[in-house]
Amino acid sequence: MGTVHQAERHPSGTSGGALTIRHFVDRWADETPQAPWLIAPETGAVMTYAKLQEHCRELARVLLMNGLSPGETVSLMMHDGYQTARLLVGIMYAGLRVQPVDLMSQPAQLKHVLEHSDTRLVFCAHEFVDRLRVPLEQITASGERDIALFPLNPDQIDIFDDPYIAHVPLPPVAESDEALLMYTSGTSGVPTAVVQTHRALVCGGMSTSDAHALGATDRVLCALPLDPVNGQIVTTVAPLVHGGSVVMPHRFSASSFWQLAASHHCTWINVVPAIIDSLLDGPQPRAIGLDVSAIRFCRCASAPLSPEQHRAFEAKFGIGVIEATDLNEGCGR
C-alpha cells in the first residue's frame, strides 16, 4: 500500500497535512482558488478549485440534510463528465464512501454490487436509468432496503433545484475513514470488493505525482472511465494532490484525442494499450497541424503493452511511454 514517507517528500510540499481528500480540496481552494482543476471539453465548462470546494460543500450538506450519515455508501453510474468528477470527489469530501459502478456490469453483477455495497443512493446518468430499474426493484422487493435513484446529466453544472443550502456543519474526516469502495470486474466470478481509505487514496495520488514529478502547472488528458482505479486515482486524485488539472471528455475518441491534448496544452496523457493501438492507426498530430510539444510523457497501464506497441508509439509520436501497473488494492501504485 505504500508508506507514509512518500507523502513527506512530495514535490508540492504536502507534508504534515491531513491525508484526506477534503484537506487537498480545501488547500488548493485557499491557495489557488481560480486555478482550474477540471475542464469538460464538450461544454467548455471549467471547474476551478474554488468551485470544486463550493460544489463539495453543497453536496455534503444536501446528502446530510437528506438523512445520509458519515461512512454510508453512495454509488455513481455515469460516464465521465463535469458532474461525475464533482460527485466522485464530493461524496468523499462529505465523509461518505463513494462506489463507482462499472458501466459494463451485467445485470447479475450490478445487483450484487448494489446489494453488497449497502448503497443508499445512486447518482445515475439518464442513459443508464433503465439498466438500474430492475436490480433496484429486486432489492426493494426483497425487503432489504430502499435505494434512492437520482438521474442527471453529467454535463450539468448545478443539479439541485434550490440554490440555497442550509449551513449544516460538516462531520470531520479522518485519514483512516473509508473513502472509496470499488469492485473487480467479476469476469471470473462474483465481483470482489476493495475498500480504500482517504490515506490510501492520497498516497496513491502522491505516488503518481512523485513518480512523474508532477506539479501545479501539469495537466493530464483523461480518456479513461472513472470506475476503474486508473481513472479514479491516476487522473482524478493525483491532480487534486499536486494542484494540477485534468481534461475530462465523456469518453475516448481517436478522432479528437490529439486535438484535445493540443488545444488544452496537456503536459501528459494517461492511456491503456487499446488506446495506443487506436492512436497508432490514426495520423501523426503534427501532420495535421497540431502542436503537442507540451506533452512530456505518456503513461500506459491497466494491461500489458507489447514491446512492438511501445516502440511504434514512441517512434511515430515522439513521446516517451512510461509503463505502470495499476492495482485496485494499491490505489494505482
Termini Cα distance of the chain: 8
Query: What is d(CA 95, CA 20) in angstroms, rounded to the nearest whole number?
Result: 10
Q: Is the pLDDT of residue 332 over 50?
A: no
Contact between 198 and 175 (Cβ < 8 Å):
yes
Q: How confident is the prediction for the chain on average, in pLDDT?
A: 89
* pLDDT score recorded for residue 198: 97
Q: Is the pLDDT of residue 11 over 50?
A: no
CA angle 150, 153, 158 (to 5 degrees): 85
Query: With bands split at pLDDT 50, 70 and 90, how would you rate the model's confidence at 187?
Result: low
* pLDDT score recorded for residue 190: 80
Query: With bands split at pLDDT 50, 70 and 90, how would you rate the model's confidence at 296?
Result: very high
Query: What is d(CA 302, CA 174) in angstroms, rounded to the nearest whole number?
Result: 29
Query: What is d(CA 123, CA 226) in angstroms, rounded to the nearest whole number?
Result: 14
CA angle 294, 295, 297 (to 5 degrees): 150
Query: What is d(CA 275, CA 87) in angstroms, rounded to the nearest whole number?
Result: 26
Q: Is the pLDDT of residue 14 over 80?
A: no
Beta bridge partners of 180: 98, 196
* pLDDT score recorded for residue 10: 38
Contact between 56 and 93 (Cβ < 8 Å):
yes
Sort 54 into a burial class: Cβ within 10 Å, 0-12 / 13-18 / 19+.
middle
Query: With bands split at pLDDT 50, 70 and 90, how would you rate the model's confidence at 8?
Result: very low
Query: With bands split at pLDDT 50, 70 and 90, how would you rate the model's confidence at 16?
Result: very low
Phi, psi of 221 (to 5 degrees): -95, 115
Query: What is d(CA 228, CA 234) in angstroms, rounded to the nearest whole number?
Result: 10
pTM for the whole thing? 0.90
Query: What is d(CA 287, CA 294) in angstroms, rounded to the nearest whole number?
Result: 16
**pLDDT by residue (tens digit) across 120-147?**
999 999 999 999 998 999 998 887 788 9
Please state the domain count of the chain: 1
Query: What is d(CA 320, CA 162) in angstroms, rounded to the nearest whole number?
Result: 48
Query: What is d(CA 327, CA 333) in angstroms, rounded to the nearest whole number?
Result: 6
DSSP 32: S
Q: Which residue has the cell 440554490?
A: 163
Query: What is d(CA 230, CA 300) in angstroms, rounded to the nearest whole number?
Result: 10
Contact between 310 and 324 (Cβ < 8 Å):
no
Which residues span the domain enclosing 223? 5-330
- As a whole-number percent, the residues of the chain with pLDDT over 90 amount to 75
Contact between 45 and 243 (Cβ < 8 Å):
no
Query: What is d(CA 330, CA 333) in angstroms, rounded to the nearest whole number?
Result: 5
CA 159 to chain centre: 19
Query: With bands split at pLDDT 50, 70 and 90, how would you rate the model's confidence at 327?
Result: low
Determine how many CB atoms are found less than 10 A away from the CB of residue 318: 13
Sort 256 into a burial class: Cβ within 10 Å, 0-12 / 13-18 / 19+.
middle
The CATH number of residue 246's host domain is 3.40.50.12780
**pLDDT by residue (tens digit) across 148-159?**
999 999 999 999
Query: What is d(CA 77, CA 84) in angstroms, rounded to the nearest whole number?
Result: 9
One-letter amino acid of 17: G
Pick the more confident residue, 161 or 72: 72
Beta bridge partners of 181: 195
One-letter amino acid of 232: Q
Q: Is the pLDDT of residue 227 over 80?
A: no
Q: Which residue has the cell 483523461?
A: 222
